[in-house]
Structure 1
Amino acid sequence: MRVEVEQRRSMRLAVAAAAAWLALYALLTALSQGSEPLGRFVANVVYVVPLVLLAPLSYAAARRARGRLRRAWALLTVANVLWLVGELIWSAYAYLRPGGVPSPSVADAFYLTSYAAALPAIAIGFGGTWAQRQVRCLLDAALVTLGVGAVGWALVIGPLFPGAPKAAAVIAFTQPLVSVAIVTVLVAAGLCGHRAVPPSFLLAGAGFAVAALTDAGYAYLVSTHSYGDASWVNLGWQLEAVLLCLAAAVAARRPEGEPQVRQLDRDLAVLPAAVAVLSIVGIATADRLSDGRLTLSTLVISVLLVSGLLLRQVLVTRDRTRLAEALDTALREQERLAVTDGLTGLHNRRFFQEMLRLEAERAERDGAPLSIVIVDLDRFKKVNDTCGHPAGDRVLTEVADRIRRAVRPNDLVARYGGEEFVCLLPGAGEETALEVAEQVRRALSRSPFAVPGGREVRLTASLGVASAGTRGGRPHGDLEGLIHDADGALYRARTRGRDQVAAASRLADLALDTDPDLPPALVWLADQIDAKLGSHEHSTAVSRWALLTGARLGLHQAALRRTAAAARLHDIGKINVDDAILTKPGRLSQAEWDVLRRHPQEGARLLTELSDRADLAPLVGAHHERFDGAGYPQGLRGEGIPIEARIIAVCDSWAAMRADRAYAAARSETEARHQIERGRGTQFDPEVVDAFLALLDGGAIDELALLRHTAPAPNPVVSTVVP
């Protein structure tokens, strides 16, 4: 940080010194207007000072630069040294030769050679674009130079020398033309072909732009024999030298990044086209004014300019065609990658979801069944932990191949997650889907997988099957429900010991088995309480989630039925809690809390007295006990709380947090999850929390549905509930 501050300070000092020098040189030029000795000293001694500084600065910039910029600055160093040598020769002529500087002179050769070295420096510094663009940049420079040169000679220089042109005028006129070519290359290559240009080259480009204007003024003064040591035109070259010094200082301060090339450049076709058209008009007008007819040189120049413009358009068209082809190829590749898993080569989850929608619509039109199979590799994490992730990737690739070979030819296989795969089986009912799933299970478990190092690993998989458009299955349009059913079946397969296939319809049958033995009056009562508490389902969702959580924990069938039934009726004791307490928006008083905290006991009492399901009473009575013993009504703790009640406690809390209540707004999934995790080991059983969150991550815990209108009381016995 300190170094950067020092560098900024040094650059500010450099800019201030440059401005001070230009002001001093302007002052000396003004003072030398009436003094030939002072003018000679300023133009030939003081003038050289920034050039003497420019040479070592350019060398330092070349040493610090990297890549193409180093070669560019090396050439600029050569160009600046040649410029310095030319100026020293000019100064020697001015002081040592009685007749002054001859025209042309040896110094002119160094000047032109300096420009010749600067032109490729600019081209190299802004290289990296396609060859066609480089050719186009050079063609732009040639068109602009030819056009400007033709107009300048016809309208300015030519009229001053009606006879044969003098060598001094030709050489003086050549310098601004080369400067124009450099600036054109800079603009065409730098601003049109790149997103970013190094600051040093922006300063250098500004210097060459100043040089082009200064050289044009010098050419005119030489042609009119008006140039002298005290000429103000020298101040333009001083500005060029100062800008180049600053450019070298910027490049020498720290390495610059190379120019960033544009994929699609901004083609400034208007510049060469405008110059070409104006040039043709200008030289044709000059011919008309001179002798009334077009000369051969005007025709030749016009043909060259028009031909150059046509060639330029061909290059632009080819460049655009190449870019269009590259873009089309890139788009096709992006489309492929968008629906393909990069590791296994299977389709990805996004593609599966879209194809599931399309196949469901087709199956609904045809009245055909549709099934999906979710495949989850058992304990795959151990493969990564033991053999490494590269070996795990190799196993996943082989798993994908085995699944692809095991399914039917028209079935679709996709990678669903990390170690999860999914198969879409059009036209397959549950029995067919179970057969395909079993083939996949056997294909994965029958032989080990080879991993690097000559080792082998054995893998098994748990598979969940769900069908739509079949008896007991989901309707075709309920795709989320279909995936949810397959997830539930998958978790059932895992909790039963893994390496097996489970069907969602059998899990659904298990859920249905929980309700027939429940007293209809108490079920109706639970729905009435839910309607009082909010607009979303509660006890039905808690029952559904409790069933899935119990299945994941491996509870036997009777315990699962008991869990789902108790969850369905867990809040019936709130019928004896005043509505004002249930719907109170603010904090409850201690007396109100005492009333509310009795509802688990009241629910247990109702189950014992009004039904023959006394087996559910301990579960309902304990669903507000805490794992750490701080709950109510009995302060049970740990394993002393029935496992069914521990499951209901987690599912009940999740449902309460995810719906609007009178006392609190609904929490987001992230916030609710955080609260469940905070209660792990204190309010909730850790194993139950882990099982529930795993279901949540797998998408098995669905969203709360809006309540439908509750039915009228099915039995007068309900009227006896309230004491």
Structure 2
Amino acid sequence: MVLSRMLRRSHLWIRVAQTGLVAIPFLLAAFAIWSILATGKPDPVERSLTLIIFPAAAVLAVAFQFLLASDRRRLDESRANEVVRLEGASTTDALTQVGNHRGFEGELQREVRRAIRHGYSLSLAILDVDEFNGLNARSGSGHGDRVLARVGGLLSGRRIEDRAFRIGPDDFALLLPYTDAANGALVLDRLRGEAEHTLLGATLSVGVAELSFENAESASLLGQAEAALREARLRGRNMVVRFDEIKSSVSVISPTKVSSVRLLISERKLHISFQPIFDLQRGAVLGFEALSRPAP
């Protein structure tokens, strides 16, 4: 903020100075004309001064204009660099030096749109530092911060087109363009093995999902990767699980479907029927089951 105000003030003073310098030759010319009109005929000294001062002032004004234009360009470049730096800081996690959650949300949507437009594979991995709260409790938050920083370093060392993000206290995301789920799982399993030797005793659980062009939504891709991560935790942690391994037993509801159901409910277009659930041995009603479908 302070730098922005300084730059704005600098630009204001530059404009004032430029206006003044442009006006100098015209003021001198007006003075010379006024002298001629006032005296009727200028003496040789006045004529000489007019012939010398006016061109000199004009050259000086042009030179100063050039210098001020150069200074303005440098200030514009400084301002542009500052804007780029601030934008980068707003989407970068300070501890791990990878993207933050805000950067992740925007980049995930952009990458999904690019993958759909150009028809290439896109995988998303969600990583979790196993038992991170216990690690902090045993070794202190400083040790935990060093572990997180090393995770950021591991993820940053991938291919140039891969992009890493810290999306939670101990959760990370890795976007893998031009990579299907099978190859993505191989990459992440190598990274998981590296983590065993570099994370100061910590390990990683990973869930991987590939963008489906039948349900090409960023939220669905994220939900599938998170479901795979939950399965990795249930299986004992320190492993990589692909969503396509568990998709027959896990349901990830598309946000579009959720919105459609909410719209049907709000517009009262759902027909709901209740049917009893009987205990045949006792001949008693145990409860009721509600069935719903769009109204005809």
Q: Find the aligned partners of 1:367 and 1:315 in 2 and give their Cα distance.
A: 51
| Residue aligning to 1:444 | 195
Shift in alpha-carbon separation, 1:536–1:371, aligned structure 2, 3 A: farther
| Residue aligning to 1:709 | 294
Aligned 8 A contact 1:485 1:504 in 2: yes
Of 146, 155, 158, which aligns to 1:394?
Answer: 146
Q: Find the aligned partners of 1:464 and 1:394 in 2 and give their Cα distance.
A: 23
Structure 1, residues 122-154: CA drift from partner, whole Å, max 9, x if none? Answer: xxxxxxxxxxxxxxxxxxxxxxxxxxxxxxxxx
State yes or no: 1:575 paired with 2:274.
yes
Q: Find the aligned partners of 1:295 and 1:387 in 2 and give their Cα distance.
A: 93
Kindly state the Cα deviation for residue 382 of structure 1 after the two structures are TM-superposed: 4.5
| Residue aligning to 2:255 | none
| Residue aligning to 2:76 | 324
| Residue aligning to 2:65 | 313
Shift in alpha-carbon separation, 1:313–1:497, aligned structure 2, 3 A: same
**Matched letter for residue 466 of structure 1:** A
Q: Find the aligned partners of 1:370 and 1:260 in 2 and give their Cα distance.
A: 42
| Residue aligning to 2:26 | 277
Aligned 8 A contact 1:493 1:502 in 2: yes
Of 154, 160, 165, which aligns to 1:414?
Answer: 165
**Matched letter for residue 205 of structure 2:** S
Structure 1, residues 396-440: CA drift from partner, whole Å, max 9, x if none? Answer: 2211223455x6676443333332211223344443333333223
Q: Mapping of 1:48-63 within 5 angstroms?
A: none
State yes or no: 1:467 paired with 2:219.
no
The 3-state SS of whatever aligns with 1:510 is coil
The 3-state SS of whatever aligns with 2:31 is helix
Q: Find the aligned partners of 1:352 and 1:333 in 2 and give their Cα distance.
A: 18
State yes or no: 1:423 paired with 2:174.
yes
Q: Mapping of 1:49-128 within 5 angstroms?
A: none
Structure 1, residues 557-611: CA drift from partner, whole Å, max 9, x if none? Answer: xxxxxxxxxxxxxxx9x837xxxxxxxxxxxxxxxxxxxxxxxxxx5xx15349x
Of 211, 226, 229, which aligns to 1:490?
Answer: 229
- Higher percent of residues as helix: 1
Kindly state the Cα deviation for residue 497 of structure 1 after the two structures are TM-superposed: 3.7
**Matched letter for residue 458 of structure 1:** G
State yes or no: 1:502 paired with 2:87.
no
**Matched letter for residue 203 of structure 2:** T
Aligned 8 A contact 2:7 2:75 in 1: no
State yes or no: 1:262 paired with 2:12.
no
- Higher percent of residues as strand: 2
**Matched letter for residue 575 of structure 1:** F
Shift in alpha-carbon separation, 1:376–1:272, aligned structure 2, 3 A: same
Aligned 8 A contact 1:284 1:294 in 2: no
Aligned 8 A contact 2:163 2:174 in 1: yes
Residue segments in structure 2 that go unaligned for 5+ positions in a row: 252-261
**Matched letter for residue 45 of structure 2:** L
| Residue aligning to 2:254 | none
Of 39, 42, 65, which aligns to 1:290?
Answer: 39
> Larger relative contact order (C-alpha < 8 A, sep ≥ 6)?
2
**Matched letter for residue 440 of structure 1:** L
Kindly state the Cα deviation for residue 480 of structure 1 after the two structures are TM-superposed: 1.1
The 3-state SS of whatever aligns with 2:294 is coil
Aligned 8 A contact 1:371 1:425 in 2: yes
**Matched letter for residue 130 of structure 2:** D
Aligned 8 A contact 1:364 1:476 in 2: no
Of 591, 599, 608, which aligns to 2:279?
Answer: 608
Kindly state the Cα deviation for residue 292 of structure 1 after the two structures are TM-superposed: 0.8
**Matched letter for residue 402 of structure 1:** L
Q: Find the aligned partners of 1:489 and 1:537 in 2 and give their Cα distance.
A: 35
Aligned 8 A contact 1:466 1:485 in 2: yes
Kindly state the Cα deviation for residue 484 of structure 1 after the two structures are TM-superposed: 0.8
Aligned 8 A contact 1:287 1:294 in 2: no
Q: Mapping of 1:467-546 within 5 angstroms?
A: 467-469=210-212, 475=214, 477-511=216-250
Q: Find the aligned partners of 1:318 and 1:532 in 2 and give their Cα distance.
A: 62
Of 121, 130, 134, which aligns to 1:378?
Answer: 130
Structure 1, residues 473-498: CA drift from partner, whole Å, max 9, x if none? Answer: x7351221111111122223334443
Q: How many residues align?
A: 271
Q: Find the aligned partners of 1:302 and 1:408 in 2 and give their Cα distance.
A: 64
Structure 1, residues 264-308: CA drift from partner, whole Å, max 9, x if none? Answer: 224224445446533432344224433612542542543554344
TM-score by length of 1: 0.32
Residue segments in structure 1 that go unaligned for 5+ positions in a row: 1-194, 196-258, 450-456, 513-529, 539-571, 577-602, 622-706, 712-723
Q: Find the aligned partners of 1:316 and 1:532 in 2 and give their Cα distance.
A: 64
Kindly state the Cα deviation for residue 459 of structure 1 after the two structures are TM-superposed: 0.8
Shift in alpha-carbon separation, 1:415–1:306, aligned structure 2, 3 A: same
The 3-state SS of whatever aligns with 1:397 is helix
Q: Find the aligned partners of 2:268 and 2:228 in 1 and give their Cα distance.
A: 26
Q: Mapping of 1:640-655 within 5 angstroms?
A: none
Q: Find the aligned partners of 2:177 and 2:23 in 1 and give their Cα distance.
A: 65
Kindly state the Cα deviation for residue 351 of structure 1 after the two structures are TM-superposed: 5.0
Between Structure 1 and Structure 2, whose CA radius of gyration is higher? 1
Shift in alpha-carbon separation, 1:284–1:710, aligned structure 2, 3 A: closer
| Residue aligning to 2:201 | 458
